[in-house]
Amino acid sequence: MDTTTAAVASDARSDAPASTPDVETLIATARRLRRDILEMTTHAGSGHPSSSMSAIDVIVALYSGGILRHNPQEPHDPDRDRFILSKGHASPALYAILAERGYFGHDLLRTLRQTGSPLEGHPNMRRLPGVEASTGSLGQGLSIGLGHALAGRIDGRSFHTYVMVGDGEVQEGQIWEALMSGAHLRADNLTLIVDHNQAQQSNILERVLDYRPLAEKLRAFHWHVEEIDGHDMPAILAALESVRQVKGQPQAIVAHTVKGKGVSFVEADWTYHGRAITKDDLQKALAELRD
Amino acid sequence: MAATAERFELKLGKATRDAFGEALRELAKTNDRLVVVDGDVSNSTRTEWFAADHPQRFFNVGIAESNMVGVAAGLAAAGKIPVVASFACFLLCNAYDQLRISVAFPQLNVKAVGSHAGISIGEDGPSQMAIEDIALACALPGFAVLAPADEVATRVAVRAMLEHDGPVYLRVGRPKAPVVYGSEADFPFQIGQAVRLRQGNDVTIVANGLMVAAALQAHDRLAETGVSARVLDMPSVKPLDEAALDEAARETGAIVVAEEHLAHGGLGSVVATAVAGLRPCPIAFVNLGDTFAESGPGDELLEKYGLTAADIVRGANRAVAAKRQG
């Protein structure tokens, strides 16, 4: 099935619920974008493919599942919904979806991390349409998202802001400052998505700094919390839709994910955090991601 | 080219933090894009006056400076003009990475205002004293960095800061500041421009903030000993008025730089770098050196740590002597 058909339908800006997304199409899109992530990082020779692959299903649901109200032709529309990728090292996932949705041409993905390319190692909002925040120094995106949410409140605009953080990133103190602040200010137009893939740079989260269980902590901070399998497309769509109905408090979606999801030998090895797979391994990986 | 301001008598005026709070309140009347993000010190930074008029546009995010700056970045990205204000040391030192990556890197239109700068805050002591804020702010690419001398200068600087499209750091102080400018007509300031307060041919005193008043006193004492000192108020540390410095180096051949700041990375460093590249001449430095201060009355601390008119006079004489030695 041609994936662009469903995609274009959700482009139209409207306050009305988007047409029911085709789950099979979204799953196929996510699989294709996983291939993009691997191809662009291996071509670049560096990057964070596994962190991108844990996040990509949620990102596809947001952008292509009729959740995010956005128009690639008007990336600065003041009424657009915002998606901020606070875990900026997963930039290949963001670049893949932005190309998919037409913010720029697919060919640009091949320039990842090259001098002169707007597709920098971590997202640079000044150089690429559709990038809402310049991230990469972990912990900063949720506060930025809260700023957008407060601006929307002042102006009486109905846009919603989604911020995705990594579970390692949750160890940053600024995240907890923003959690307190978002709840106190009752920012119900703000949703935090935690890509809970259980692994970080030097080791698995459990061995580095085990703060689990996360959902209980977020609830204690007065956030509405939903916990889902971050690779279960219908569950992702349901959570992303339902949180928008919550009034009076910000929301968090704890998405339990697998780092490197979709490629067996990456899933099995957390040391893929900060490195691309080799050119030799690329074909083996892509074979696991065939339609 | 430095503008020329008129002469007047020095008397004690408002604190620059008060002038900032008043200017913000006044300008907010006609600028609905203005918002304020506070780290629970609005009654110290005087943003409480803005808050009283505009509670919907004022956010106290608690004692959480990193989040405070990040929220300001988001507000700016959404089209607001956020003023984020706290004690200068907490704003610059606690939230530096947020100023760096959330604000400076994307060049967002955030106005960072640091109050209680310098050692003149006195009794609260070193943990509350920003002595490195100018150095840190200058190291943020694309930031304009301002340190006005008095009430009038602060009012004009706040207006310039809000009109400027891009990130700005504004330094204001806690104690009442001597009146350097009688009226706004005496302070023809734009960002990037020095103001010439006294004409002189033997040496140029470059100063900003509280040290401008001391520079004027030093000018008079030097005149009594036959030394003709030019006085340049340098409220804009970045961008710097290189033309005024080039002229000063050419016409006076000796410079002394006075600031309420550490030696490294402040006005002295910035001026020395510029003069070295333009027209090298002897430069003397009057600053805190490489040390923290301590608790005590502000005036006593300025005396003890070498930030008085007498220190500027000595520095001026050193620079003049070096010039004469060739």
CATH code at position B216:
3.40.50.920
pLDDT at residue A19, as a whole number: 56
Asked if B50 and B116 sit in the same domain, the reply is yes
pLDDT at residue A270, as a whole number: 85
Asked if B211 and B259 sit in the same domain, the reply is yes
Asked if B162 and B76 sit in the same domain, the reply is yes
Residue of A126, A135, A178 with shortest CB distance to B67: A178
Domain boundary among B125, B144, B178: B178
* B108 in Cβ contact with B136 (< 8 Å): no
Task: Tell me which residue range forms the domain holding B199.
Answer: 195-325
Asked if B207 and B313 sit in the same domain, the reply is yes
* B184 in Cβ contact with B191 (< 8 Å): no
Total domains present in chain B? 2
Q: How many CB atoms lie within 10 A of CB A221?
A: 18
- CA B106 → CA A125, B95, B214, distances in Å? 6, 16, 38
Asked if B79 and B122 sit in the same domain, the reply is yes
Those residues whose C-beta lies under 8 Å from the C-beta of residue B164, and which sit 6 or more positions away, are B144, B191
Asked if B170 and B208 sit in the same domain, the reply is no
pLDDT of residue A141 exceeding 60, the answer is yes
Asked if B166 and B23 sit in the same domain, the reply is yes
pLDDT at residue B6, as a whole number: 40
Q: Comparing C-alpha atoms, which of A202, A290, A240, A282 is closest to residue A64?
A: A240
* pLDDT tens, position by position, B178-209: 999 999 999 999 999 999 999 999 999 999 99
User: Which site among B31, B34, B56, B71 would you substitute to test the A interface, given the most A Cβ atoms closer than 10 Å to its Cβ?
Assistant: B71
Q: Name which residue leads in pLDDT, A250 or A13.
A: A250
Percent of chain A predicted with pLDDT > 90 = 90
With respect to residue B87, please indicate whether it lies within any of the assigned structural domains.
yes
pLDDT of residue B5 exceeding 80, the answer is no
Tokens 């989040």 appear where?
A: B67
Asked if B161 and B247 sit in the same domain, the reply is no
Q: Comparing C-alpha atoms, which of B222, B234, B280, B242 is closest to residue B258?
A: B234
Asked if B91 and B224 sit in the same domain, the reply is no
- Cβ contact (<8 Å) for A137 and B69? no
Domain boundary among B178, B211, B235: B178
Asked if B141 and B206 sit in the same domain, the reply is no
Q: What is the CATH number of the domain that holds B53?
A: 3.40.50.970
Q: How far is B101 from chain A (nearest CA, A)?
A: 7
For residues A94 and A52, give the distance between their C-alpha atoms in angstroms, rounded to a whole number: 8
pLDDT at residue B10, as a whole number: 81
Q: Comparing C-alpha atoms, which of B129, B87, B134 is closest to residue B257?
A: B134
With respect to residue B284, please indicate whether it lies within any of the assigned structural domains.
yes
Percent of chain A predicted with pLDDT > 70 = 93
* pLDDT tens, position by position, B8-53: 458 999 999 999 999 999 999 999 999 999 999 999 999 999 999 9
- Cβ contact (<8 Å) for B78 and A151? yes
Buried b (16+ CB within 10 A) or exposed e, B49-73: bbbeebeebbbbbeebbbbbbbbbb
pLDDT at residue A14, as a whole number: 41
Domain boundary among B178, B211, B245: B178
- Cβ contact (<8 Å) for B101 and A146? no
pLDDT at residue A6, as a whole number: 37
Please say whether the dihedral angle defined by the alpha carbons of residues A21, A27, A32 and A36, taken in this order, is positive or negative.
Answer: positive
The CATH code of domain A21-288 reads 3.40.50.970
Asked if B59 and B136 sit in the same domain, the reply is yes
pLDDT of residue B135 exceeding 90, the answer is yes
Percent of chain B predicted with pLDDT > 90 = 97
pLDDT at residue B271, as a whole number: 98
The answer, for A174 touching chain B at a CB cutoff of 8 Å, is yes
With respect to residue B2, please indicate whether it lies within any of the assigned structural domains.
no
Segment A104-124 mean pLDDT: 97
Chains A, B: CB pairs < 8 Å: 110
pLDDT at residue A94, as a whole number: 98
Q: Which of residues 19-58 of B touch A (CB under 8 A)?
A: 35, 37, 56-57
pLDDT at residue A20, as a whole number: 53
pTM: 0.94
- Cβ contact (<8 Å) for B71 and A181? yes
